[in-house]
């Protein structure tokens, strides 16, 4: 297999500057990365290093100033202009489950909407039954279908966000701090769910987090961002146990020892947060 056949997502020389102020440092200053089919790439780095900016370009929510984003060799472009199969192929799960779902909509109508938008993914038989199966896949009871998003817990909301993404059978899931806003115990459950779904649906993931402990659990490879650049990249175990770059070492020093239990209160004092 050639390298290009093994690449699902390819980001080349991505540059983004917000506001266009002359001389201002670019938020993303020449980032290249790739994700193979069924692979999870963790993207880590301190706040403001440019992780979300990269994710927004991949999701087509932001147009880069320069560089390319391709999926199986096809340019991805802006979300609204993507051909439907590319729109479906790349789905995103955001940090704040409450603000990424319309609180007044029921879960059933949230899922019905995506099936309407992508009719090829809509179930052929009984839709209620298919919806209940989808919810069960996410560890949610069927009764959740009739509830409004605004009445759900944070963990339930995030499961619904994941259901909405998976309802259109994506190939790549971009998770931007998808577990960061959740309680530590819920965080662990959602991580397990993502690992399980990834295997069953043969998903690739771009998994963004400032939490090295979380990335350690889920990523095959990790890329470390610092001030708009990727400063180090490699197999997760290697980067997190034998970092080559001083910035990665500093991140690790600031983080919890990966073997330490997460503190009960889940506060940043345990420094899984950098
Ligand atoms: N809409 C915007 N307008 C202007 N500047 C922005 C905007 N979004 C991000 N930035 C700036 O771009 C840089 C990268 O931000 P980005 O949100 O991509 O970082 P991040 O790594 O996701 O951070 P965090 O871990 O806090 O989510 C930061 O300096 C940020 O202040
Ligand atoms: Mg971010």
Q: Is residue 225 part of a domain?
A: yes
The answer to whether position 155 is within a domain reads: no
pLDDT score of 263: 52
The pLDDT of residue 113: 96
Q: Using one digit for the tens of pLDDT, what is the confidence trace for 21-31?
A: 666 789 999 99
Q: What percent of the chain has pLDDT over 70?
A: 90
pLDDT for res 97? 78
Taking 70 as the pLDDT cut, the residues of the chain under it are 1-5, 20-23, 256-274
DSSP readout, the chain? --HHHH-SEEEEEEEE-STT-TTPPPSEEEEEEEE-TT-EEEEE-STTSSHHHHHHHHHTSS--SEEEEEETTEE---GGGS-HHHHHHEEEE-S-HHHHS-TTSBHHHHHHHHHHHSGGGS-SS-HHHHHHHHHHHTT--GGGGGSBGGGS-HHHHHHHHHHHHHTT--SEEEEESTTTTS-HHHHHHHHHHHHHHHHHHT-EEEEE-S-HHHHHHH-SEEEEEETTEEEEEEEHHHHHHS--SHHHHHHHHHSPPTTSPPPTT--GGG-S--
What confidence score (pLDDT) does residue 115 get? 96
- Any domain includes 127: no
**271 inside domain:** no
48 touches ligand 1 (CB under 6 Å): yes
Residue 52 lies in a domain: yes
pLDDT 10s digits, 196-216: 999 999 999 999 998 898 999
| Host domain of residue 204 | 9-95+171-254
Is residue 249 a part of any domain in this protein?
Answer: yes
The answer to whether residue 151 is domain-embedded is no
Query: Which listed ligand is nearest to 44 at the C-alpha?
Result: 1
Q: Whose CA is nearest to atom 29 of ligand 1?
A: 48
Q: So what's the pLDDT on residue 24?
A: 74
> What is the predicted pLDDT for the residue at 218?
96
Residues with Cβ–ion distance below 5 A, ligand 2: 51-52
Q: Is the CB of 49 under 6 A from ligand 1?
A: yes
Which atom of ligand 1 is closest in space to residue 95's alpha carbon?
27
Query: How many domains in the chain?
Result: 1
210 lines ligand 1 (CB under 6 A): yes
Distance (angstroms) between ligand 2 centre and the Cα of 232 equals 19
Write down the pTM of the prediction.
0.90
Any domain includes 236? yes
Q: How far is the CA of 230 from the centre of ligand 2 (A)?
A: 15
* Ligand 1 pocket mutation pick from 15, 21, 48 by most atoms within 8 angstroms of CB: 48
From the CB of 95, is ligand 1 less than 6 Å away?
no
**Residue closest by Cα to atom 5 of ligand 1:** 18
Q: What is the tens place of the pLDDT at every residue in 53-99?
A: 999 999 999 999 999 999 999 999 998 899 999 999 999 999 887 88
CATH number for 25: 3.40.50.300
């Amino acid at each position: 297999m050639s390298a290009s056949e093994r690449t699902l997502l390819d980001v080349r020389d991505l540059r983004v500057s917000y506001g266009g102020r002359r001389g201002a440092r670019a938020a993303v200053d020449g980032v290249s990365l790739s994700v193979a089919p069924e692979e999870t790439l963790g993207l880590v780095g301190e706040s403001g290093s440019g992780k979300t900016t990269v994710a927004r370009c991949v999701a087509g929510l932001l147009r880069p100033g320069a560089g390319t984003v391709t999926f199986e060799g096809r340019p991805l472009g802006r979300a609204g202009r993507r051909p439907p199969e590319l729109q479906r192929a790349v789905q995103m799960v955001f940090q704040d489950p409450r603000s990424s779902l319309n609180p007044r909509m029921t879960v059933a109508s949230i899922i019905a909407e995506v099936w309407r938008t992508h009719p090829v993914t809509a179930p052929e038989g009984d839709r209620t039954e298919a919806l209940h199966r989808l919810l069960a896949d996410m560890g949610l009871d069927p009764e959740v279908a009739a509830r409004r998003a605004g009445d759900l817990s944070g963990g339930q909301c995030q499961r619904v966000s994941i259901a909405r993404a998976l309802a259109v059978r994506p190939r790549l899931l971009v998770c931007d701090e998808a577990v960061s806003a959740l309680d530590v115990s819920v965080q662990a459950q959602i991580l397990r769910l993502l690992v399980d779904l990834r295997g069953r649906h043969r998903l690739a993931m771009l998994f963004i987090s400032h939490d090295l402990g979380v990335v350690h659990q889920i990523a095959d490879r990790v890329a470390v961002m610092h001030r708009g650049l990727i400063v180090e990249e490699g197999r997760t175990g290697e980067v997190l146990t034998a970092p080559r770059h001083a910035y990665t070492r500093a991140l690790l020093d600031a983080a919890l020892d990966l073997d330490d239990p997460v503190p009960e209160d889940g506060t940043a004092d345990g420094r899984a947060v950098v």
